[in-house]
Amino acid sequence: MKIALAQLNYHIGNFESNSSKIKETIIKAKDSGAELVVFAELSVCGYPPRDFLEFDDFISQCNTVVNDIASVSKDIAVIIGSPTINPDVKGKDLFNSAVFINDGKIVSTHHKSLLPNYDVFDEYRYFEPSRKSNIINYNGLNIALTICEDLWNIGEELLYPYSPMDDLINQHPDIIINIAASPFNYDQRNIRKDVLSKNAHKYYIPLLYVNHVGAQTELIFDGGSLAIDSKGNIVEELNYFDEDFIIIDTNSLKNNTSTKEDKPIEDIALIHDALVLGIKDYFNKLGFKRAILGLSGGIDSAVTLVLAAEALGSENVKALLLPSRFSSQHSIDDAIALAENINVPYETIHLDDAYKSFGSLLNPFFKDMPFDVTEENLQARIRAVLLMAFTNKFGYVLLNTSNKSEAAVGYGTLYGDMCGGLSVLGDLYKTQVYELANFINKEMEIIPVNSITKPPSAELRPDQKDSDSLPDYDILDKILYNYIEKRQGPKELVAMGFDEAIVKKTLRLVNMNEYKRHQTPPILRVSPKAFGMGRRMPIVGKYLS
Amino acid sequence: MKIALAQLNYHIGNFESNSSKIKETIIKAKDSGAELVVFAELSVCGYPPRDFLEFDDFISQCNTVVNDIASVSKDIAVIIGSPTINPDVKGKDLFNSAVFINDGKIVSTHHKSLLPNYDVFDEYRYFEPSRKSNIINYNGLNIALTICEDLWNIGEELLYPYSPMDDLINQHPDIIINIAASPFNYDQRNIRKDVLSKNAHKYYIPLLYVNHVGAQTELIFDGGSLAIDSKGNIVEELNYFDEDFIIIDTNSLKNNTSTKEDKPIEDIALIHDALVLGIKDYFNKLGFKRAILGLSGGIDSAVTLVLAAEALGSENVKALLLPSRFSSQHSIDDAIALAENINVPYETIHLDDAYKSFGSLLNPFFKDMPFDVTEENLQARIRAVLLMAFTNKFGYVLLNTSNKSEAAVGYGTLYGDMCGGLSVLGDLYKTQVYELANFINKEMEIIPVNSITKPPSAELRPDQKDSDSLPDYDILDKILYNYIEKRQGPKELVAMGFDEAIVKKTLRLVNMNEYKRHQTPPILRVSPKAFGMGRRMPIVGKYLS
């Protein structure tokens, strides 16, 4: 049987756009001779719909789209994802379902059994888990239809006491189909391929996997849909970070001998592509075109600018240079050199007049108190006021340029450099930002090498260096990674060889700065544990702080 | 049997403080002749510990505290709440448990079966639900020990397919004990009493209920622990918004004839007390003493100031008057009158110099473009810069004064009046803020009546009124309440009689301003649906927007 895999970029709640994309693709599949076309999990409404699911009107619109799609699906079968209503008075109101449509009619609806409820996932907030699974028989093919997490309860540690495939395999399926919404992080591509291959291998039948592609605020869906033969070999791997469509002949998966060469992709290349897509979709889906950012001559704003120009076009990005009395000439030169390298228009505003004016308003109260973090923050906040004035007057969106190391230890000014509609680098440690800068410069010097090699500085007081306040990033980032991504506690970190005093100071900074991170923009997620919806910490908590 | 109910204010992750409070109370219970003392759900670590639960070190510290408490509990039994490790390789790593200690030893551990995972609750993120329940026999008394939600699957619509009491009742308990972490909202006191009474009545045995008290950032636990007789009558109701301790003789609950008079409390009085506790605990638990806010002469900052002065003492609150060229003299007079009424020190800074200075920096770019929202936001942001400079220089925390109506429709300036460490009124619609102002003025005119009666205005352009941009608050707040608290969609709202164009505009404003709310401070929660952790919406979603 010929089955089409449709890897599309949906928009949460945009029923009109999702529905017309799906319908166009059904026609394309039919024209290509497919007997069945498969779309991703919750494709009619986009993923994750979050608390929109609590509105009857939203569910009713999903239902309308499903019926509408069914009515146009003549002479072809379709699998789409949609929330459906749980008719039982017991349990949550909804199921996360895969709807099987054939020749204009809804034939059967299959509910997700395993509901991810960790990290960025909240599915048990909305959905009742299914406790029974039935295969589909379509034109002689027995299909075990599963939804994303349904196939992930495999291996040593099992998160769920029940696996739907244990039921389904007894009904003698010929193939597994899995519709998914699996967001990117730099580990995910390999883990996902491994988990899905293991399933095909374990049950000894081919597997077709259809993922989302496209960013929904912080979550970037990377696509990479798969066709896997019954030995667990990957036969087809769809595009990453782009829509894709393919026809698979299931016969070719049964006694397959050819496998697709597994081309390893560098993490940093994946991260680069993810961030560009993340910026692009944030603007597209919100209906904005143009970005602005403060360009300091440092590495973070340099990398953000390059990514923004790639995503939106140089002509749609504006750089503001906002030097204060503490900015060095070489920083200004580096900023200008970069903007000119990539043809991004820029303007310069010296903020000293505003700084002086605040000084005269505040001096009657501050009197002879010495220069401290107040005056540092003041400069950062004046920059934010200027940038936001540009966004209001001209309709830009401000891009935030903070990195994960700074966000972790609170090395940033709330309502100053922590402003913005979207944080581009907020899930990359400083050392990863350097890696990304070098990746960008691989072919030619786009980012002035001076921005990469000079010691990092906020330039908010004379001769300031990040290393005055923070451990070296080489050390700091390793401690942060092991604490944040790997959930290692103070004892484990010291046992790994990190200095006890530095560990203690670092963890304390991370935990006591939760209040700052609470107010930051959404951060494009590229790691397995990003600040934001996937990491939920008490603000007034007192633990290691 | 004499059982002590201990209603305490815990601090998340502060093991030292929680542990010593618990140990002191055990001694007090023993001295009062109690055979058993009962503490709340997850009392050793505070509630909600959120992702701290993912750290082995945190769980190990909980375990240490439990063992430590056990070792000091001689000649008395204790029930405390703690996370415990799930020994099974299948399922989540932890249980949410009630530990039964007797005479220095842990006798049994009882796991929560029903895990709330809606609104502000995320328990299935961390815990495996228990599927079996065993009673405790202690000194001849059979105790059905349950944890919070375990008793809430009662009535018409059942959220869970299973109820642990269905098992427990077959083991012939003499009494139900429920340890809880049930946060306040203005409906919760009555609902809670009703649900618990129904349980006692249904199973025809007495019920003892121990809740948390105290605020943990946005969640305010109101206490109100209960003793209920076997007919479902409330015999004892502990303090609201304060720690409390009581000894109950279980014999008195069996053939009880006296019931406590049910004194209805006005919602607005509960809200008032909740907000005062919310402010107090935010400062106490973070180790801050002093608050600052911008006092405009309007109703929101007036009410916030009064609450802050009640919570922290007038001498620990500072008001800044920050008039611009558009501020009216009567607003300034009203602000001063209030500050003087309640003895709050205040300072005045005219922001025009800073406004002019930004004007001259921006004019080369803005040229002849007309005054618009840019210049309005500029004033709000200059105020924020000044207020934040005071917080940095003197160690204040800035209180945010936005209300829920503004937050809902985005009528506020990001990085301007939306700044602050804590939002005091962010869960009160404008009409509720008026109600609270009148409540405060019940005995005498504390808030100048002019602040209450004048038409609300942001005073950011000449003769501006809120009603220029927004529907009247009487209408707006009803639409918002039905959309946000009651999850009514556009069709339902129009069917309720609201004007279709106003409904459409309002819902659009709510949904398109999700990006602003993403960056606001934590909001003290007093309603059943507050902005913040209990309402999770996609930012780039396009639904009704």
The burial class, CB within 10 Å (0-12 / 13-18 / 19+), for A170 is exposed
Residue in A57, A353, A515 nearest the CB of B357: A353
Q: Could you confirm whether B54 is annotated as catalytic?
A: no
Report pLDDT digits (tens) over B288-324: 999 999 999 999 999 999 999 999 999 999 999 999 9
Is-contact A399 A421, C-beta < 8 A? yes
Distance in angstroms (rounded) separating the CA atoms of residues A158 and B88: 9
Q: Are A51 and B535 within 8 A, CB to CB? A: yes
Substitution target in B361, B423, B531 with the highest count of A β-carbons within 10 Å is B361
Q: Could you tell me if the ipTM is greater than 0.95?
A: yes
Q: Are A157 and B89 within 8 A, CB to CB? A: yes
Distance in angstroms (rounded) separating the CA atoms of residues A14 and A25: 17
Average pLDDT value over all residues in chain B:
97
Q: C-alpha distances in angstroms, B24 versus B30, B302, B468?
A: 10, 40, 58
What torsion, rounded to 10 degrees, do the Cα atoms B381, B387, B393, B394 define? -160
pLDDT at A340: 98
Is-contact A377 A416, C-beta < 8 A? yes
Q: Are A58 and B543 within 8 A, CB to CB? A: yes
Give the closest-approach CA distance of B75 to chain A in angstroms: 32
pLDDT at A260: 77
Report pLDDT digits (tens) over B329-388: 999 999 999 999 999 999 999 999 999 999 999 999 999 999 999 999 999 999 999 999
Distance in angstroms (rounded) separating the CA atoms of residues B415 and A519: 10
Question: What is the CATH class of A276-466?
Answer: alpha beta
Q: Which residues of chain B have a CB within 8 Å of the CB of A378?
A: 385, 389
pLDDT band of B254, cuts 50, 70, 90: confident
Is-contact B338 B441, C-beta < 8 A? no
Is-contact B186 B157, C-beta < 8 A? no
Residue B188's nearest CA partner among B307, B270, B127 is B270
pLDDT at A118: 98
Distance in angstroms (rounded) separating the CA atoms of residues A394 and A155: 54
Q: Which residues of chain A have a CB within 8 Å of the CB of B12?
A: 538, 540-543
Phi–psi pair at B245, nearest 5 degrees: -155, 135
Residue in A91, A158, A522 nearest the CB of B161: A91
Give the closest-approach CA distance of B457 to chain A in angstroms: 21
Q: Which residues of chain B have a CB within 8 Å of the CB of A161?
A: 90-91
- Measured at the CA of A328, the angle between CA A326 and CA A333, to 5 degrees, comes to 140
Residue type, B25: T
Q: Could you confirm whether B419 is annotated as catalytic?
A: no
Mean per-residue pLDDT for A79-103? 97
Report pLDDT digits (tens) over A104-153: 999 999 999 999 999 999 999 999 999 999 999 999 999 999 999 999 99
**What is B329-389 written as a DSSP string?**
HHHHHHHHHHHHHTT--EEE--THHHHHHHHHHHHHHHTTPPP-HHHHHHHHHHHHHHHHH
Report pLDDT digits (tens) over B134-148: 999 999 999 999 999
Q: Which residues of chain A have a CB within 8 Å of the CB of B530?
A: none
- Measured at the CA of A212, the angle between CA A208 and CA A218, to 5 degrees, comes to 145
- The residues spanned by each domain of chain A are 2-265, 276-466
Q: Are A286 and B216 within 8 A, CB to CB? A: no
Q: Structure tokens of B279?
A: 């402010």
Is-contact A514 A539, C-beta < 8 A? yes
pLDDT band of B77, cuts 50, 70, 90: very high
Catalytic residue of the set B21, B35, B41, B149: B41
Q: Which residue has the tokens 């039994």?
A: B77
Q: Are A12 and B92 within 8 A, CB to CB? A: no
Give the closest-approach CA distance of A545 to chain B in angstroms: 9
What torsion, rounded to 10 degrees, do the Cα atoms A423, A425, A429, A433 define? -160
Give the closest-approach CA distance of A474 to chain B in angstroms: 24
pLDDT band of A461, cuts 50, 70, 90: very high
Distance in angstroms (rounded) separating the CA atoms of residues B529 and A182: 29
Residue in A389, A421, A521 nearest the CB of B374: A389
Q: What percent of chain A has pLDDT over 90?
A: 95
Give the closest-approach CA distance of B393 to chain A in angstroms: 6
Mean per-residue pLDDT for A385-410? 98
Q: Which residues of chain A have a CB within 8 Å of the CB of B515?
A: 286, 421, 522
Q: Which residues of chain A have a CB within 8 Å of the CB of B361?
A: 349, 351, 353-354, 386
Using DSSP bridges, classify how beta strands A136-138 and B77-85 pair: parallel, antiparallel or unpaired.
Answer: unpaired
Point out which residues pair with B38 in neighbouring strands: B5, B79
Fold classification of A2-265 is Nitrilase/N-carbamoyl-D-aminoacid amidohydrolase (3.60.110)
Mean per-residue pLDDT for B58-79? 97
Q: Are A540 and B158 within 8 A, CB to CB? A: no
Q: Are A388 and B377 within 8 A, CB to CB? A: yes
Q: Structure tokens of B10?
A: 């815990």
Mean per-residue pLDDT for A199-224? 98
Fold classification of B270-466 is Rossmann fold (3.40.50)
Distance in angstroms (rounded) separating the CA atoms of residues B208 and B5: 8
Nearest chain B residue (CA) to A536: B51
B276 or A469, which is more confident: B276
Predicted structure pTM score: 0.97
Residue in A381, A388, A540 nearest the CB of B388: A381
Helices (H) and strands (E) in chain A, counts: 18, 19
Q: Are B388 and A377 within 8 A, CB to CB? A: yes
Give the closest-approach CA distance of B544 to chain A in angstroms: 8
Mean per-residue pLDDT for A276-285? 98
Q: Which residues of chain A have a CB within 8 Å of the CB of B11?
A: 540-542
3-class secondary structure, B92: coil
Residue B303's nearest CA partner among B330, B276, B283 is B276
Q: Which residues of chain A have a CB within 8 Å of the CB of B353?
A: 357, 360-361
Q: Structure tokens of B532?
A: 């913040």
Q: Are A540 and B12 within 8 A, CB to CB? A: yes
Residue A259 in this model has a pLDDT that exceeds 90:
no
Q: Structure tokens of A316?
A: 């749609």
Q: Structure tokens of A258?
A: 């050819």
Distance in angstroms (rounded) separating the CA atoms of residues B240 and A262: 63
Residue in A57, A377, A541 nearest the CB of B490: A57
pLDDT band of A432, cuts 50, 70, 90: very high
Q: Which residues of chain B have a CB within 8 Å of the CB of A388?
A: 377, 381, 414-415
What H or E segment, with its residue span, contains residue A476?
A: helix A473-484
Q: Could you confirm whether B202 is annotated as catalytic?
A: no
Residue B469's nearest CA partner among B479, B483, B452, B456 is B456
Nearest chain A residue (CA) to B288: A540
Q: Which residues of chain B have a CB within 8 Å of the CB of A374?
A: 389, 392-393
Catalytic residue of the set A148, A404, A514, A516: A148
Q: Widest CA span of chain B, in angstroms?
A: 86
Nearest chain A residue (CA) to B374: A392
- What's the number of CA atoms in the CB half-sphere (13 Å) around residue A538? 28
- Per DSSP (E only), the strands in A322-472 are 346-348, 397-400, 422-423
Catalytic residue of the set B21, B35, B45, B112: B112
B24 φ/ψ sector (left φ>0, alpha ψ -120 to 50, else beta)? alpha
Q: Which residues of chain B have a CB within 8 Å of the CB of A353?
A: 357, 360-361
Residue in A372, A385, A536 nearest the CB of B385: A385
3-class secondary structure, B123: helix
Distance in angstroms (rounded) separating the CA atoms of residues A24 and B312: 62
Q: Are A357 and B360 within 8 A, CB to CB? A: no
Report pLDDT digits (tens) over B458-499: 999 999 999 988 999 999 999 999 999 999 999 999 999 999
Catalytic residue of the set B35, B45, B123, B148: B148
Q: Are A160 and B55 within 8 A, CB to CB? A: no
Give the closest-approach CA distance of B140 to chain A in angstroms: 36
Q: Are A491 and B539 within 8 A, CB to CB? A: no
Nearest chain A residue (CA) to B492: A57
Report pLDDT digits (tens) over B231-248: 999 999 999 999 999 999
Fold classification of B2-253 is Nitrilase/N-carbamoyl-D-aminoacid amidohydrolase (3.60.110)
- Measured at the CA of B455, the angle between CA B451 and CA B459, to 5 degrees, comes to 85
Substitution target in B125, B540, B545 with the highest count of A β-carbons within 10 Å is B540
Q: Structure tokens of A169?
A: 């395999």
Which letter does DSSP use for residue A239 in this model? Answer: P
pLDDT band of B263, cuts 50, 70, 90: confident
Residue in B13, B50, B541 nearest the CB of A536: B50
Give the closest-approach CA distance of A278 to chain B in angstroms: 11
Q: Are B543 and A354 within 8 A, CB to CB? A: no
For chains A and B, count residue pairs whose Cβ atoms are closer than 8 Å. 269
Give the closest-approach CA distance of B14 to chain A in angstroms: 5
